[in-house]
Structure 1
Amino acid sequence: MSTLRYGANVQANGVRLHYLLYGQARAGRDPIIILPGITSPAITWGFVGERFGREFETYILDIRGRGLSQSGPTLDYSLDAQAADLAALAAALKLRRYTVVGHSMGARIAVRAARSGLPGLTRLVLVDPPVSGPGRRAYPARLDWYVDSIRLSVAGCNAESMRAFCPTWTEDQLKLRAEWLHTCDERAVRESFDGFHNDDIHSDLGRITIPVRLIAAGRGDVIRDEDIAEIRRLMPSASTTRVVDAGHMIPWDDEAGFYAAFEEFLGAPLGAAISKEKQHVGQ
């Protein structure tokens, strides 16, 4: 049985934010807010929401400029604006306590938001966050990979057209990518990609006082061992783990390993994964 309850829109931080809600509130377990990556509408994390929803009330956010959330030619797509969206969303949903799980760009948003000590934010999970920034090595992905695939989807394309960009993905994953990628505003993606190189999240890490779990991919070169060591120096209380058999899109490469990497950090284990055939994808 699906744990999806509904999708909804809320006015927060002056913009319309769309989210999907999975699972029911459970006594003693904080709700989860999932922040996806640079071209990941909320629906592409639906298979994760289904699993989280078995144990937690779980919200998956369409980051501004993606999915069904607001976009536009004058909208602010900066990291600071995205971080303010998270704070405003939690307030609009009246969440007294909650945990944030951020993947890639979503993890950087969570770091920027958490540096100011958000009321109610109890735990933070950073899933393979780009560690690029001023004076640091570049993020190991090309902007044209995103832009070319977005333009193709805007014109209209099928799963086979997406295969050149994502050769290892399943047919269902490619279909969902082709269906939803056009909702990712090109300017939003360009500005977020630039932010990977211009925004200094390392200066934020030392200001975070809540428990943090870092989940790094075993492949893909987004986070190296020396990066983990630096993060641990900046946040000595952070716990870290690698999902050895996964690249940057960890839940898609090793879904069971992704859930296992949380261990008891969220207050309850996530347990066994759903079958690979039911996976969907975005990046």
Structure 2
Amino acid sequence: MTQQVPTIPTEVPEHRVLTQPALADLASIPATSRWVRSGALRLHVLDHGPADGVPALILPGITSPAITMEFVARQLTDLVRPIVLDVRGRGLSDSAPADADGPLRGYDLAGYAADTEAVITELGLDRPILLGHSMGARIAAVVAAAGRHELRGTVLVDPPMSGPSRDRYPTTLEVFLGQLDQARRGTDADEVAASWPRWPRAEQELRARWLASCSRTAVAATHAGFESEDFFIHWPQVPAPSVLIYGGDSPVVTAAGADEAAKTNPDAALAEVPGAGHMVFWDDPVAGIRAAREAIRSML
């Protein structure tokens, strides 16, 4: 089955919006903003410290700025030093260059992986753990498989397993772009709850304030990459220790996908969070974070 890369909309500055209420959220979180250069791009991270803690670099999903994973990072500070990345085109990080080459316009896995490696290098992170959710899990797999940085391990949470000649990613681009349009005209937690009814109220409110910071081009290109870039090219080369956590009710990592993951990388561990969907930490924060903590403990 041949899959076409869809047309990706052109980015314009007003397609990313950060309101004063969103920026005010940064004052209420126990983390320090830090900045890193990846080539010409300025990347923002939220660093929970302490400086001498084992670093755990957290890579969020397709429409998740760094601050939206704060509720996860806060539950890991007794184990590690969580550092959450605003992936390019989200939150406070720069968008990809407007003249970026290629069909994914600077939002391919290679670009995301280069940014992750820049964060590791520029912040001097010694053998970090990579913890990625969804898109972030795919990025973590690419970095780990490349082997240019020594890692303590990787925790991949519900990575998209769609790709060429595979089933399509279950959430359509139109759904993502519709949510972005809502955010840009001004949305609220009630409207977010219509799409994500299981989430804690605080996380619905945070998404309502921060979703508009995501680039439309970044989201469209990343979604196209879910169809054109194959997770299973990289996954077999991800070294141990690695733990793949997935939602028992996830349409992204199905039972067949989990079985293929176990067979193609037998040194990795798999952990199911029963009843959770793709948004594992949001659907069941207690069980999802417990699974992440157990994975991290196994790497310390």
8 A Cα contact 2:160 2:231, kept in partner: no
User: Please, which of 89, 92, 117 is the counterpart of residue 68 of structure 1?
Assistant: 92
**Alignment equivalent of 2:60, drawn from 20, 36, 58:** 36
What pairs with 1:103-122 in structure 2 (closer than 5 Å)? 103-122=133-152
- Cα distance in 2 for partners of 1:4, 1:61 equals 15
* In structure 2, distance between residues paired with 1:249 and 1:31: 24
For residues 16-55 of structure 1, what are the structure 2 equivalents within 5 Å? 16-25=42-51, 30-55=54-79
Contact 2:253 2:278 in 1 (8 A): no
| Residues 189, 204 of structure 2: 8 Å contact kept | yes
In structure 2, what is the Cα distance between the partners aligned to 1:107 and 1:13?
Answer: 23
Distance 2:181 2:139 in 1: 25
Quote the RMSD (CA, aligned, Å): 2.1
Matches within 5 A, 1:135-174: 135-174=165-204
Structure 2 residue 36 is matched with structure 1 residue 6 = no
State the TM-score, normalized to the length of structure 2.
0.83
Structure with more helix by fraction: 2
- Corresponding residue SS for 1:163: helix
Q: Which moved more, 1:248-257 or 1:128-137?
A: 248-257
Q: How many residues get paired?
A: 267
CA distance in 1 between partners of 2:283 and 2:197 (Å):
13
Give 5+ residue unaligned stretches, structure 2: 1-27, 101-105
How far off is 1:146 after superposition?
Answer: 1.0
Which of 158, 164, 176 is the matching residue for 1:128?
158
Residue identity matched to 1:34: I
Q: Percent identity?
A: 37
- Judged with a 3 Å threshold, the aligned counterparts in structure 2 of structure 1 residues 25 and 260 are, in CA distance, closer, same or farther, namely same
Tell me the alpha carbon deviations over residues 10-43 of structure 1, each in whole angstroms, 9 at most, x when there is no partner: 11233111010114245xx631000000000000
CA contact (8 A) 1:67 1:180 kept: yes
Aligned to 2:209: 179
Per-residue deviation, 1:163: 3.3
Partner secondary structure for residue 179 of structure 1: helix
Alignment check: 8 A CA contact 1:32 1:100 kept: yes
Correspondence list, 1:208-223, <5 A? 208-223=238-253
